[in-house]
Structure 1
Amino acid sequence: MIEILEGFPGNVVAVSASGEVTREDYEKILMPAVVAAVSNRDKIRVYYELGSGFTRMDAGAAWDDLKLGVAHYLKWEAIAVVTDHDWIRHAVDVLRFVVPGQVRTFRIEQAREARDWIVSPLDKEKIRLS
């Protein structure tokens, strides 16, 4: 299940995942939120929290995740992935170089730091290097 998190500025799509994330979660929750955010902005940011209750992403959700990333490729300014699942952290670290914006991973106990980072001004030098 994906849940939209409140309290973030309009240029940040913030979500929390728990249990199994499905294609329906992407199509009914995440994709509309991203489309709404990119409709009137040059760049957007994503805060994605996958806590201990997150178990898996089904194949349809993984496919939609890829499609969503490619469809809005040049819109990604920053992505914060917050999780203690090492396999997710490693996957993000491997794929971060194909994302045009900044990508950082945080542990669950660093959620406050991740939230502060995703809404703060970004280091422009790091954006060019990402």
Structure 2
Amino acid sequence: MLQFIKDLPSHVAGVHATGEVRDEDFERVLAPLLNEQVNSQGKINFLLVLDTKVSSFTWGALWKDLKLGLKHYRQWKRIAIVTDQREVKLFSDAFRFIIPGQSKGFPLDRLDEAVRWVSVK
């Protein structure tokens, strides 16, 4: 399930992933959130708190994630992925070589630091 993260600066979009994440979650939560960020800010500062295993994402959800990422390819400014899954953190750190913006992984106990980092304009 994807849920909006509230109490973030207006130029930061955030979602918390728990349990099973389905393609409907991307349609209902993530796509509208990213579209709103692009429309209102022109860029995307994105915070993902990944509190579930990547294996909990259905194939449909992974496909929607890829399509959304490509749709907004030039708008990514900062992506912070917060998780205790080491392989995901390493991937998010390497993501900076793929997207035009910056990407950084943080452990769950450094969520406040991740929010500060992703909030830089």
Query: Do these two structures clear the TM 0.5 threshold for a shared fold by scoring above it?
Result: yes
SS in 2 for 1:79: strand
Q: Distance in 1 between matches of 2:87 and 2:117?
A: 22
Match of 1:92 in 2: 92
Deviations 1:95-128 (A, max 9, x none): 331111010000001111001111124xxxxxxx
Q: Provide TM-score, normalisation by structure 1.
A: 0.86
Cα distance in 2, alignment partners of residues 95 and 69 from structure 1 = 12
The change in CA–CA distance for 1:14 and 1:35 in structure 2 (over 3 A counts) is same
Tell me the distance in 2 between the aligned counterparts of 1:37 and 1:80.
Answer: 15
Q: Give the 4+ runs in structure 1 shifted more than 3 A.
A: none
Residue 64 (structure 1) aligns with: 64
Q: Secondary structure at the match of 1:40?
A: helix
Q: Identical aligned pairs, as a percentage?
A: 36
Query: What is the CA-CA distance between 1:89 and the residue it aligns to?
Result: 1.6
- Give, in whole Å, the separation in 2 of the partners of 1:95 and 1:37: 20
1:33 & 1:99 partners in 2: Cα distance? 19
Which residues of structure 2 form unaligned runs of 5+?
A: none
Report which of the two structures shows the higher radius of gyration computed on alpha carbons. Answer: 1
- What is the root-mean-square deviation in Å for CA atoms of aligned residues? 1.2
**Is there any run of 5+ residues in structure 1 with no aligned partner, and where?**
122-130
Aligned-pair CA distance for 1:45: 0.5
